[in-house]
Structure 1
Amino acid sequence: WVPTLSMTPLRAHRLLRLAVRLGARMRYMERPSSFTVGAVRGLCTSTSGKSKPDKANEHDETFTSTVELKGKKGGSQAEEKSAWTKFWDREMERREEAKKRKSEGWEKLNKDMSRSQLQDYYDMQRKRGKAEPAIKEIIPKSKAIAFPSMVVHGLDGSTFDLSDNFANEVTWVTMYGTALAMQMGQEWLDEISGEGIQIYEVSVNESWFSRLLKPLSLRGLKNRVPVEKHANFATVFGSIAPQKEKLEMVNRLTAYSFLIDKRGAVRWRSSGSPIGNDLELAKTFIRELHKER
């Protein structure tokens, strides 16, 4: 191949350099066992016009012959595996992980979009916040799930993992994200506070706007909640999507109440305000958990 006379000298020079490089690469691809670090270094220095010391050439030739000898004697696959192959193995693993994360993200988005906010409002207005009917029986130990780990901040200034405070205590946890839901949760607490259990209230603030107004929100809660309850009144600013998914908290506007046994397992749950015999059920189940060993 020869450049035509119609080409400019600069373009012809570039094409000739490209042809030389391609030819050099093809020659090295025909001898994969000799394609070593030294060969690559020699190719780079030859194209840049710099000479290479004799000792370095001797070292590269020795390294090349050693690799060829290992290949003939049946060296390990890890030694024969080229750096390029290792790079592509890592790249494919990274792409598979990214594809998996993307698939999980789409599944979560579809799940969130499957329930509209209008349904949340409907539950609040027509069902007194009942996203689902209260469970009529206590959950057996074998089927109960552990309350998930959740780092919260108490109004008294403490920071702790809520799930660490359930050992050897029957516990009632109420979680809500709106002022109306707080009133619904208080309807439960007014009736069960004398049942000999420890009680935690958790104010969940997931939106960016609530995080922006965090100082004002904390000041309002401290003024609204009695001082003696500050240690057991906690706040969360930020997303708790994994915990909400595990606890099946589908309605973002209502209150959720959980009865937790001495092992930290959720044995009963309800949402919204107590209606019908919900309070009687809750008190009965609390007494049963007190008797469990």
Structure 2
Amino acid sequence: MSRGYFADISEIRKNHGKIATASKVIIPEVDAVKFPDLAVESPDGGALHLPLVVPALQDDDVEAGDGVIPDASLVCLSFRASSQKMTESWSSPFLDAFGADKNIHVYEVSFIDSWLLSLGPVRRVFLKVMRKSNNPHRHVVYAFGDHYDFRKKLQIINLLTGYIYLVDREGRIRWRGFGSATEEEVSSLTASASILLDEK
């Protein structure tokens, strides 16, 4: 699961961040795997665990901290600053399509693996100066520390590209994409999200 920067950049140059083909259609429930638990923090000091899931035996709108558990969450992962533009190429058109729907949330996760920035006092200062979102459905969050086990569960090897996951309210991955979005891939993603909204 670990390899060098030059191997990653060589792969990116070959495929422009498209390390695999994006899903063409929604992944059926029976084939969907769970999104691994991930602790994240927001610039406003809030902390939460992704994915947000509905507690057992509940099917109506359930509160998650100060918000409702969404029917679908777009989780965009960036392990290096160079991949943030890639993830935004997915999140921006997705928000354009669903921005007014309270049952859809977007989480743009940046991974900070520096031990110094992960220290409590330094981390608090870091979060204060980082970008914030004015959109209540778009959450810019940060994950600190070593995430080897998390990456292993999702089979993430190349840290220079973006990883995109559409997660349902049960925490299952129902669609996935990589690198920068194409129009066809965004259409497939939004169609899959619409199906999740209709499944409730």
Q: 1:290 aligns with which of 179, 197, 200?
A: 197
Shift of 1:267: 0.6
Contact 1:131 1:250 in 2 (8 A): no
AA at the equivalent of 2:170: R
2:149 corresponds to 1:242? yes
2:138 corresponds to 1:206? no
Match of 2:9 in 1: 121
CA distances 1:177-197 after superposition (whole Å, capped 9, x unpaired) = 222211111111111103232
TM-score (norm 1): 0.55
Match of 1:189 in 2: 91
CA distances 1:65-100 after superposition (whole Å, capped 9, x unpaired) = xxxxxxxxxxxxxxxxxxxxxxxxxxxxxxxxxxxx
Match of 1:164 in 2: 52
Which structure shows the bigger proportion of residues in strand conformation? 2
2:199 corresponds to 1:267? no
Shift of 1:277: 1.4
AA at the equivalent of 2:27: I
Shift of 1:233: 1.7
Contact 1:156 1:231 in 2 (8 A): no
Secondary structure of the structure 1 residue equivalent to 2:186:
helix
2:130 corresponds to 1:221? yes
Distance in 2 between residues matched to 1:276 and 1:132, nearest whole Å: 16
C-alpha spacing 1:241/1:171, structure 2 compared with 1 (3 Å): same
CA distances 1:182-236 after superposition (whole Å, capped 9, x unpaired) = 11111111111032321111110113365476456434423xx344569822111
Q: 2:38 aligns with which of 115, 140, 150?
A: 150
The alignment covers a number of residue pairs equal to: 179
AA at the equivalent of 1:186: E
C-alpha spacing 1:279/1:231, structure 2 compared with 1 (3 Å): closer
CA distances 1:108-150 after superposition (whole Å, capped 9, x unpaired) = xxx424xx43231134334332221212232111111111111
Shift of 1:273: 0.3
Distance in 1 between residues matched to 2:44 and 2:186, nearest whole Å: 30
Gaps of 5+ in 2: 55-68
Q: 2:188 aligns with which of 281, 284, 287?
A: 281
Contact 1:172 1:199 in 2 (8 A): yes
Which structure shows the bigger proportion of residues in helix conformation? 1
Distance in 1 between residues matched to 2:176 and 2:15, nearest whole Å: 16
2:23 corresponds to 1:135? yes
Secondary structure of the structure 1 residue equivalent to 2:130:
helix
Distance in 2 between residues matched to 1:162 and 1:171, nearest whole Å: 10
After superposition, where does 1:86-125 map in structure 2 within 5 Å? Answer: 111-113=1-3, 116-125=4-13
TM-score (norm 2): 0.77
Secondary structure of the structure 1 residue equivalent to 2:90:
helix
Contact 1:154 1:231 in 2 (8 A): no
AA at the equivalent of 2:90: W
The share of aligned pairs that are identical, in percent, is 26
Secondary structure of the structure 2 residue equivalent to 1:131:
coil
Secondary structure of the structure 2 residue equivalent to 1:203:
strand
Contact 2:51 2:167 in 1 (8 A): no
CA distances 1:237-258 after superposition (whole Å, capped 9, x unpaired) = 1012222111222211211110
Contact 2:77 2:108 in 1 (8 A): yes
Match of 1:178 in 2: 80
